[in-house]
Amino acid sequence: MSYISPLLLAALLTGFSPGLRAQSVPGGPPVLATSLPPVPGLGEKPLTPQQLDNVAALGQVWGLLKYFHPAVAGGQRDWDAEFLRQLTPILACRSVAERSRWLSAWVAGLGPVPACLACAAPPNLPVRLTPDLRWAQDKRRFDAPLRQQLAYIQANRYQGAPYYVTQLGHSTVFPHEEAYADQACPAPGLRLLAVCRYWNILQYYYPYTYLWEEDWSRVLPALLPRFAAATTPLAYRHAALALFARVHDGHARFYPPDPLLEAERGAYQVAADVQFIDDQAVVVRVRQDGLGPPSPLMPGDVITHFGEASVAGLVQQRLPETGASNRAAQLNTIALNLLYCATPQVAVRVVRAGQPVRLVVPSVGVGTVPPAQPAVADSMYRFLTPDVGYIDMARIKAAKVPAIMKAFAHTKGIVVDQRNYPGQFVATYLPGFFLAKPALFAKFTERDPTSPGRFLWQPADTLNPTSPTPYSGRVVVLVNEVSRSQAEFTAMAFRATPHCTLLGSQTAGADGNAAFITLSGGLKTLMSGLGAYYPDGRETQRVGLVPDVALRPTIAGLRAGRDELRDRAVALITGSEAVRP
């Protein structure tokens, strides 16, 4: 879990489907490639509120048919083209009644839906989540005949091999979503298709729909105007970012990073790292290795202005377009992108030791300076004291684990630094060295392949002992908002060991693996694909992992060059402070 396999990554980044709607359907006839129908007049003037509601209604019905209707879900029709084909008449509807009649006739034209006796049978595993289809029974938006049609289709859903979604291991894959990558800013109809495609994928294949703070059915009409008005490549990408942010998922971002957005943020970067502490942008590290110009910034500086903009203003501007599971993770993403600029130097205002200071800070061309080489003190593992070992999980290699554990065999404790993303997947290997007997450490939900929108509990994952002589000292795992996805999964495994303490602050809250989504214009994004929980069913999504000992760095500590979390971990191991039994 919490892992994108190289096979899946290669398949999805290179494009799972080779051409425009020309894939064959397992057990059925091939879908013939078609040219996309035009949508006359679309984009010439802003859509009216009635038209926006019409498009939202079309998008919702179109998505339900895509995944539920026996004449559609098997890939029998070019469903993207069908969406565009229906846009012209749906935009012309002047009332809910007229729209309902049109949609009802369209649904009926797909042919009869046979009764499905098996659809009512309960699944073999316990149900965690069922699809929220209240929108389809909204009397204000759909008339009675259409509501009855939609309810019947849901109850008698397609039971064959789905064309638009499949499974690769534990990963959900959407293999037949055309990218239309020849258009950096797609035509208006394809932009509306993009938001409707994304909305429906999340509606039926996102494991945490119950955690959304807003009604997902309202998100679609709320963002349609922005996609309709996004007439430039950058405006379209910013509309997509705003859409991703509404999911509140740490995986919901462009992947790989979008080159146009990277160019927009600037060709230069100040060679320093920033972390938000108490909502202040604090310098935590400054690169001073001689490979770039010397910087006047110092650890502990609080950046108040970058260029002409206040940091507080930049945060408020960027929050609505920053996808993350919680605010701490949002601020971490903003911090990672804060120090980019368009010039070789930039004016920066800081507060240093309580006094305002104006600086002119040099920047370096992005990609022109090689990555910093680790000093001895930054190696994969080392001794912090003769009795305390340290493991940097960012550099971990599975092949080195036995040597690490041999070196630390007689120490009082080990500090595991998980304030990063693991260098290799060792979540079910390294923690096993601290176990004498098997332990449950995580529980997951996976989509029910027979019922879109339904997620089923899977048997709890077990962590097994790795060594016949388990390590008996204390283990303190350091976490913060940088700890995301595989890092959180690994920390959960450590937490299942008997002498472990989590120290730090709330993690990113995006555990589990990631599923790729392709949108018009060649955009690729991610979402959490599995529901990840503690063995007793407690949440990890959004809330993240809550540390046993809460601690964040202080400005004074950064100014003094101390790693306060690491120092506290050493004190827990060697001193009198109690740890969780």
What pLDDT is stored for residue 21 in this prediction? 34
pLDDT digits 0-9 by tens, 505-516: 999 999 889 999
| Residue pointed to by tokens 């004449």 | 71
CA 529/CA 512 separation, integer angstroms: 7
| Residue pointed to by tokens 């006739």 | 105
* DSSP element (H, E) containing 461: strand 461-463
Kindly state the average pLDDT of the residues 56-71.
Answer: 99
Rg over CA atoms, the chain: 26
pLDDT digits 0-9 by tens, 208-253: 999 999 999 999 999 999 999 999 999 999 999 999 999 999 999 9
- Give the Cβ contact number of residue 122 at 10 Å: 7
- Whether the predicted pLDDT of 370 surpasses 90: no
Instruction: Identify the sign of the CA torsion 36, 37, 42, 43.
Output: positive
Q: Which residues pair with 518 in a beta bridge?
A: 524
- Whether the predicted pLDDT of 27 surpasses 70: no
C-beta separation of 363 from 271 below 8 A: yes
What domains lie within the chain, and their CATH numbers? 6-256 (no CATH), 267-365 (2.30.42.10)
C-beta separation of 298 from 352 below 8 A: yes
pLDDT digits 0-9 by tens, 43-52: 889 999 999 9
Identify which has the larger pLDDT, 87 or 41.
Answer: 87
C-beta separation of 493 from 466 below 8 A: no
Give start and end residues of each alpha helix (H) in 246-354.
259-265, 311-318, 327-337
